[in-house]
Amino acid sequence: MEKTIRVLVAKPGLDGHDRGAKVVARALRDAGFEVIYTGLRQTPEQITQAALQEDVQVVALSVLSGAHNTLFPRIVELLKNEGMNDVLVIGGGVIPDADIPGLKAAGIAEVFTPGTPTSNISDFIKASVK
Amino acid sequence: MSNETLKTKLAEYNAKVEKSLAKFPERKNLAHNRIYTQLDVEALDTVNDIGFPGEYPFTRGVQPTMYRGRFWTMRMYAGFSTAEESNKRYRYLLESGGTGLSCAFDLPTQIGYDSDDQMAEGEVGKVGVAIDSLADMEILFDSIDLSKVSTSMTINAPASVLLAMYIAVAEKNGVSADKLRGTIQNDILKEYAARGTYIFPPKPSMRLITNIFEYCSTNVPQWNTISISGYHIREAGSTASQEIAFTIADGIAYVDAAIKAGLNVDDFAGRLSFFWNAHNNVLEEVAKFRASRRVWAKVMKERFGAQKPKSWMLRVHTQTAGSMLTAQQPENNIVRVALQTAAAVMGGTQSLHTNSKDEALALPTEDSVRVALRTQQIVAYESGLADVVDPLGGSYYVEALTNQIEQEAWDYIKKIDDIGGAVVAIEQGYIQKEIQDSAYKWQMEVEKGDRIIVGVNKFQIEEKPVEGLLRVDASVGELQKKKLADLRAKRDNAAVTKALGDLRKACQDDNVNLMPFILDAVKTYATLGEICGVMREVFGEYQPHATL
């Protein structure tokens, strides 16, 4: 039997906008993934520890405060330091198009911006996680 | 027409419709009846239920004249980067015909961290202006006459500190506290439920709030001590009825807490204010505004026995729905905001912020803010919507919908009372769960195509990336850190230590009002992070449980 994909949905930084994160978490759960949601105000270190402990294949980050350029790459770096090189890291939120190439170069596999159907996210995860 | 004749006519009409529906099916997912008539508002008493503007139960508005006297306050929420940058934007808005200020603070400020705190990394100056101490506040209001302008501050957990800073700046400029007009949001319950910038647990948070009520009732009597906010509950995904129900339940909890702290309801109730969202469904929103005033009036008069009419009035600030802005075809947002503005005005708001078209992508540019402000001015001066008080009063549909939303709100309030009040309902995650369920339902409707969002799931086009978005200079974090280092080097640190020590002692005694101690600390240039740090030590921090 195929192993269920485990996803950590995380809110790094101080941003309190969690409507998107919660909707995505629930949609991913309904799409058959095992989903762990961190809750608000997680430091990159806390998110990395949670990813490690929960043994997830995917980390889905949500930031709407504009702090994504600082926080997303930092989390990718910490995950690598912990040897979690295969974890798929994706991001979402209010992220200007101009920032996306930089985030991808930093190791964010895909960035989902406002208006994305949740099915796009689950399809992307299914296609990317081996 | 007699009711019997009306019923017959209505049955005939429906039969006719059913027939043509065989050929032309009705659109799906319509929430309300096909048509409304006198029959839907039969039980409504035109004097006692609808009444007159400025009279209980204020269905038609809180002031007798409404916009025939003066328009609502056009108050644009703004703030980003440093105090210097934001001060420029405030002066621009006032010069452009804005009639009040509304300060957006960055997240570290809202959560009581200084810009040089590790927790602030990447967030300084991003969603609002960074305020670390009185020194920043002095710059923020430089050359703005605080005796003339009213200022709203979106600040909750550290509201006491920012209010103290505002009072201190005014004093320095020769304006006494009793002349100050404005609002602090100061609504911690919706932070736990929907917005997320909490610091302390509920008990000390409620104490801080009642301390502010008490302090302001004698020292800053024209200040709105709280803005009980449904806005963020709606943004988090609630329905219109849930927005007013959960917010009024929060309001009940604040009044309860203040009465329990020994305050007389009529001494503080007149300074309570509210904050609604103006969402897309225009007539539903108008009904929501009207229903909310009726519910609050009854709560204050019947439940709390308030005597003064001022205590019964639900005065409201409104913001158009940020969550309804689309990143796709952003120009369309101008139209959405215009309709939302129409709803807020026909609903009888006291002040209004209109969002800018680019806010699904970034903070707004000066140009897009101007269009948003002009939208209000066009509605005010050109549309005629502001010419008659409560123009939709008496509409069968709007009256029926007002009744329906009122009833749904009462049902929720009853349920929350049974749980043990808003604080308990939030601690148990009940309110969060209700909001999340509505948010998820909305998203699934959009994804199934049952709910159309123009440009998002219908009428899409190939789009080029939007250019000319506002970017907050990345150096603002470093700049604030340097300012803090300078401040700590040159202020009287002995005075700071003493003031913080006094505050710590005061925090430990539940019977002491903290406001004078916070004001003293602020004046020594103790930083926001230092003051909140003392309170964190004594009060602890709120630990939410995340529910899905």
Cβ contact (<8 Å) for A94 and B119? no
Query: Which one is predicted more confidently, B356 or B93?
Result: B356
pLDDT tens per residue, range B204-213: 999 999 999 9
Q: Is B10 on the interface with A (CB under 8 A)?
A: no
B242 and B289 Cβ atoms separated by less than 8 Å: no
Following CA atoms B287, B293, B295, B299 in sequence, which dihedral angle do they give, to the nearest 10 degrees?
A: 170
Closest CA to B120 of B436, B128, B454: B128
Q: Is B195 on the interface with A (CB under 8 A)?
A: yes
* End-to-end CA gap in chain B: 53
Cβ contact (<8 Å) for B439 and A19? yes
Query: Nearest by CB to A16, which of B195, B361, B465?
Result: B195
For β-strands B351-353 and B316-320, DSSP reports them as parallel
Cβ contact (<8 Å) for B327 and A15? no
Residue A7 tokens, joined: 């996803």
Q: Which helix (H) or strand (E) holds B495?
A: helix B493-508
DSSP codes joined into one string, B89-116: HHHHHHHTT--EEEEEBPHHHHTT--TT
B83 and B131 Cβ atoms separated by less than 8 Å: yes
Cβ contact (<8 Å) for B443 and A27? yes
Cβ contact (<8 Å) for B546 and A29? no
Domains of chain B: 46-448 (3.20.20.240)
Chain B segment 196-235 residues within 8 A of A by beta carbon are: 196-197, 235
Q: Is B22 on the interface with A (CB under 8 A)?
A: no
Closest CA to B322 of B380, B377, B378, B363: B363
Please, which pLDDT band fits residue B522 given cuts at 50, 70 and 90? Answer: very high
Query: Strand, helix or coil at B182?
Result: strand
Q: State yes or no: pLDDT of B243 exceeds 70.
A: yes
Number of A/B CB contacts below 8 angstroms equals 107
Residue B103 tokens, joined: 């300060």
B287 and B396 Cβ atoms separated by less than 8 Å: no
pLDDT tens per residue, range B488-500: 999 999 999 999 9
Around Cβ B30, how many Cβ atoms within 10 Å? 8
Residue A69 tokens, joined: 């350029």
Count of CA atoms in the C-beta half-sphere (13 A) of B183: 27
Is the peptide bond prior to B57 cis by the omega test (within 30 degrees of 0)? yes
Return the residue in A8, A11, A14, A61 with the most chain B beta carbons within 10 A, the one to mutate for interface testing: A14
B291 and B406 Cβ atoms separated by less than 8 Å: yes
Cβ contact (<8 Å) for A14 and B111? yes
CA quadruple B14, B16, B21, B26: dihedral positive or negative? negative
Closest CA to B520 of B165, B220, B208, B157: B165
B154 has which bridge partners?
A: B104
What's B391's DSSP letter? Answer: T
Going by C-beta distance under 8 Å and a sequence separation of 6 or more, which residues neighbour residue B426?
B189, B192, B193, B202, B432
Q: Is A17 on the interface with B (CB under 8 A)?
A: yes
Cβ contact (<8 Å) for B236 and A18? yes
Around Cβ B79, how many Cβ atoms within 10 Å? 27
Q: Which helix (H) or strand (E) holds B282?
A: helix B282-298
Q: What is the 3-state secondary structure (H, E, C) of B10-30?
A: HHHHHHHHHHHHCCCCCCCCC
Q: Is B424 on the interface with A (CB under 8 A)?
A: no
How far apart are the C-alpha atoms of B538 and B532, rounded to whole Å?
10
How far apart are the C-alpha atoms of B498 and B451, rounded to whole Å?
59
Please, which pLDDT band fits residue A38 given cuts at 50, 70 and 90? Answer: very high
Cβ contact (<8 Å) for A19 and B546? no
Nearest Cα of chain A lies from the Cα of B315 at a distance, in angstroms, of 26
Going by C-beta distance under 8 Å and a sequence separation of 6 or more, which residues neighbour residue B330?
B357, B358, B360, B361, B466
B339 and B320 Cβ atoms separated by less than 8 Å: no
Share of chain B above pLDDT 90, in %: 91
pLDDT tens per residue, range B72-125: 999 988 988 999 999 999 999 899 888 889 999 999 999 999 999 999 999 999
- Exposure string of B501-510, with b = 16+ CB inside 10 Å and e = fewer, is eebeebbeee
Cβ contact (<8 Å) for B191 and A29? no
Within 8 A of A18 by CB-CB distance, chain B residues are 196, 236
Nearest Cα of chain B lies from the Cα of A1 at a distance, in angstroms, of 27
Please, which pLDDT band fits residue B307 given cuts at 50, 70 and 90? Answer: very high
| ipTM for the whole complex | 0.95
pLDDT tens per residue, range B258-268: 999 999 999 99
A108 and A79 Cβ atoms separated by less than 8 Å: no
Nearest Cα of chain A lies from the Cα of B84 at a distance, in angstroms, of 20
- The pTM of this model reads 0.96
How far apart are the C-alpha atoms of B392 and B289, rounded to whole Å?
12
Within 8 A of B457 by CB-CB distance, chain A residues are 117
Within 8 A of B327 by CB-CB distance, chain A residues are 113-115
pLDDT of res. B546: 77
Residue of B nearest to A65 (CA): B127
How far apart are the C-alpha atoms of B165 and B161, rounded to whole Å?
6
Going by C-beta distance under 8 Å and a sequence separation of 6 or more, which residues neighbour residue B458?
B449, B452
How far apart are the C-alpha atoms of B161 and B169, rounded to whole Å?
12
pLDDT tens per residue, range B431-456: 999 999 999 999 999 999 999 999 99
Which of B134-138, B190-194, B314-318, B544-548 is least confident? B544-548
CA B512 to chain centre: 29
Within 8 A of B472 by CB-CB distance, chain A residues are 66
Cβ contact (<8 Å) for B119 and A25? no
| C-alpha separations of B325 from B335, B360, B428 in Å | 10, 6, 32
Helices (H), chain A: 19-30, 44-54, 68-81, 100-105, 118-128
Residue of A nearest to B467 (CA): A98
How far apart are the C-alpha atoms of B53 and A101, rounded to whole Å?
55
Nearest Cα of chain A lies from the Cα of B120 at a distance, in angstroms, of 8
Residue of B nearest to A26 (CA): B548
Return the residue in B118, B119, B231, B361 with the most chain A beta carbons within 10 A, the one to mutate for interface testing: B361
Cβ contact (<8 Å) for B195 and A117? no
Q: Is A16 on the interface with B (CB under 8 A)?
A: yes
Count of CA atoms in the C-beta half-sphere (13 A) of B265: 20
Around Cβ B277, how many Cβ atoms within 10 Å? 27
Q: State yes or no: pLDDT of B545 exceeds 80.
A: no
Average pLDDT of the residues in B150-174: 97
Share of chain A above pLDDT 70, in %: 98
How far apart are the C-alpha atoms of B63 and B70, rounded to whole Å?
11
How far apart are the C-alpha atoms of B408 and B403, rounded to whole Å?
9
How far apart are the C-alpha atoms of B37 and B468, rounded to whole Å?
50
B122 and B145 Cβ atoms separated by less than 8 Å: no
Please, which pLDDT band fits residue A25 given cuts at 50, 70 and 90? Answer: very high
pLDDT of res. A1: 53
Please, which pLDDT band fits residue B512 given cuts at 50, 70 and 90? Answer: very high
Count of CA atoms in the C-beta half-sphere (13 A) of A117: 16
Q: Which helix (H) or strand (E) holds B74?
A: strand B73-78
What number of helices (H) and strands (E) belong to chain B?
21, 9
pLDDT tens per residue, range A82-123: 999 999 999 999 999 999 999 999 999 999 999 999 999 999
B522 and B132 Cβ atoms separated by less than 8 Å: no
Nearest Cα of chain A lies from the Cα of B295 at a distance, in angstroms, of 28
Residue B330 tokens, joined: 């952003």
Within 8 A of A19 by CB-CB distance, chain B residues are 235-237, 323, 439
Which of B86-95, B107-116, B281-290, B381-390 is least confident? B86-95
Query: Nearest by CB to A25, which of B362, B453, B548?
Result: B548
A60 and A90 Cβ atoms separated by less than 8 Å: yes
Q: What stretches of B344-405 adopt beta strand conformation (E)? A: 351-353
B41 and B403 Cβ atoms separated by less than 8 Å: yes
- Report the CATH architecture of A6-128: 3-Layer(aba) Sandwich (3.40)
Nearest Cα of chain B lies from the Cα of A20 at a distance, in angstroms, of 9
Query: Strand, helix or coil at A41?
Result: coil
Nearest Cα of chain B lies from the Cα of A70 at a distance, in angstroms, of 5
pLDDT of res. B423: 97
pLDDT tens per residue, range B9-30: 999 999 999 999 888 888 877 8
Residue of B nearest to A35 (CA): B548
pLDDT of res. B467: 85
pLDDT of res. B67: 97
Nearest Cα of chain A lies from the Cα of B342 at a distance, in angstroms, of 25
B401 has which bridge partners?
A: none
pLDDT of res. B468: 86
Chain B segment 505-544 residues within 8 A of A by beta carbon are: 544
